[in-house]
Amino acid sequence: MLICSIGAVKSQELQQKGGQGGIFSLGVRSTFSLFNAHEDESNGLGLGGQFRIQFADQVNSDWFFDYLKSDLGDYASRTDYHIGWSVLYYPLRTPSRLQPYILAGHCFDYTEIRSNFDRDNRDDRLSSAVQAGLGVHVNLTPRFDLSFVGQYMIHLGSELDAHYENGALQFHEHGGSSMEGHLLFNVGINYKIADLW
């Protein structure tokens, strides 16, 4: 029985060519937006996917896509699409069961707001954003981890706003960058596929 258990654990280990650099991972994630700039907007909930390419023992990268939905009162819905990347820095040199990290990165953000009463009444905008935050991997096996991330995303482009007035949804686009954005929490599941170098 013990020999079988050890064999099962070894079969889960990734054949590495050296250090942690070169490890390629695939994963899925769920995203929760705690607050948004619009006063009538509900918390957002979404899902997405990601892959990681680790550059060195203490430096990893995360390439992601997120799809988020939220409500503006009972009169409209908002959809956000994020596609971007982050650099992850691990302060602890040796991976352990809990592996904390600091992240910073950039993404492109497409937003659409659509009326609940007239689906043809809509507006959208494309902008970019920067994000920074903290996270931790819970290494469940040598190849499989559960990751928790908290980050703040600041929009660099225009902000799309809408309100319901005189029986119609009206849109406003505010130019310039601001410190307003999303406080995001992500929960992800990731699996190490290969060591590329």
Count Cβ neighbours within 10 Å for each residue of 14-39 and write b for 16 or more, e otherwise.
beeeeebbbbebebebebbbeebebe
Question: Quick one: pLDDT at residue 159?
Answer: 77
Name the phi and psi angles at 12, rounded to 5.
-85, -15
Domain spanning 22-188, CATH architecture: Beta Barrel (2.40)
Question: Quick one: pLDDT at residue 74?
Answer: 87
CA distances to 43, 47, 72 from 76, rounded to whole Å, are: 14, 20, 5
Question: Quick one: pLDDT at residue 38?
Answer: 66
Domain locations in the chain? Answer: 22-188
Where would I find the H helices in 56-120?
A: none
Question: Quick one: pLDDT at residue 20?
Answer: 78
Q: What is d(CA 58, CA 50) in angstroms, rounded to the nearest whole number?
A: 19
pTM here? 0.81
Question: Quick one: pLDDT at residue 114?
Answer: 93
For tokens 């007239």, the residue is 118
Question: Quick one: pLDDT at residue 37?
Answer: 62
Q: What is d(CA 78, CA 124) in angstroms, rounded to the nearest whole number?
A: 9
Written as tens digits, the pLDDT of the chain (197 aa) is 444 444 444 446 777 676 778 999 999 999 999 866 666 788 899 999 999 999 999 999 999 999 999 998 888 999 999 999 999 999 998 878 999 999 999 999 998 999 988 888 899 989 899 999 999 999 999 899 999 999 999 888 777 878 878 778 888 777 655 556 779 999 999 999 998 88
